Amino acid sequence: MNILKNSLSVLFVILAFSSFAGGPKTTVTETKNSATNSGEKKIKWLSWEEMVKLNAKNPKNIFIDFYTSWCGWCKVMDKNTFEDPTVAELMSTYFYCVKFDAERKDTINFLNKDWVFIPGGRNGYHELAAYFMQNQLSYPTFCVLTPDFKLITPLKGYITVPQFEPVVSYLGQDFWMPSKNQDLETYKQNYKSPRTTPWVAPQ
């Protein structure tokens, strides 16, 4: 299912844990200009159903935030990382962004299959969440998908803005593809943020 090489997947997992102690494309320059003209950007979080409909009309990479109601680090990620205007601008430019409660109890019809809630464990889990999370049910987990719903990579754990921003840019512009010949670590070293003032950690 995962279309990246194993080494890249491992690198993203290392990135997430190290930061815990983590359609059409436009350039970062265009993103900066857009942010300047529109003021502070907010992520427009979509439901699963909204994303599927939009993606059918205008295919685009997909970012899914798998969370639970009891996950404290999910809330910290929302407040500290997703509320950052530069992160929000990048994510809104490159992805359809979806909030998905991994313990939701409704049935979702997707890929000609009904995906259901599975009781058990702490609170149970939704089959669709487990599918994209590769049955590794830790929260938060963020899954980045191609427009045809293939998993590019999962990102796990709380990720701070300085760690998260270049990764979003890298994945959003499809630099992970072998044809782009872009190594993540090299990209991070050369990355120039579109933000106009330095990031300051929330108090």
Entry pTM:
0.80
In a domain, 197, yes or no: no
Q: Which residue range forms the structural domain that includes residue 168?
A: 6-190
What value does the mean pLDDT of the chain take?
83
Q: CA distances (Å), 114 to each of 72, 107, 120, 190, in order?
A: 30, 6, 19, 44
Helix extents (H) in the chain: 6-20, 28-38, 48-57, 72-77, 85-94, 127-132, 161-172, 184-190
In a domain, 196, yes or no: no
In a domain, 195, yes or no: no
Report the distance separating Cα 47 and Cα 161, nearest Å.
Answer: 24
In a domain, 1, yes or no: no
In a domain, 201, yes or no: no
In a domain, 202, yes or no: no
pLDDT for the residue numbered 121: 77
Collect all residues with Cβ–Cβ distance below 8 Å to 87 and sequence separation of at least 6. Answer: 43, 81, 161, 164, 165, 168
CATH number at residue 64: 3.40.30.10
Which whole number is the average pLDDT over 140-146? 97
Report the distance separating Cα 153 and Cα 155, nearest Å.
Answer: 7
Place of tokens 């509320």: 83
Q: What is the pLDDT of residues 175-196, one digit of tens each?
A: 999 988 888 999 999 999 888 8
In a domain, 93, yes or no: yes
DSSP for 90-114 reads HHHHHEEEEEEETT--S-EEETTEE
- Structural domain count, the chain: 1
Lowest mean per-residue pLDDT among 39-48, 72-81, 113-122: 39-48
- Between 201 and 39, residue with greater pLDDT: 201
In a domain, 168, yes or no: yes
pLDDT for the residue numbered 180: 86
- Provide the pairing of β-strand 95-101 with 45-46: parallel
Q: CA distances (Å), 66 to each of 14, 29, 77, 100, 139, in order?
A: 19, 30, 12, 5, 7
Q: What is the pLDDT of residues 64-91, one digit of tens each?
A: 999 999 999 999 999 999 999 999 999 9
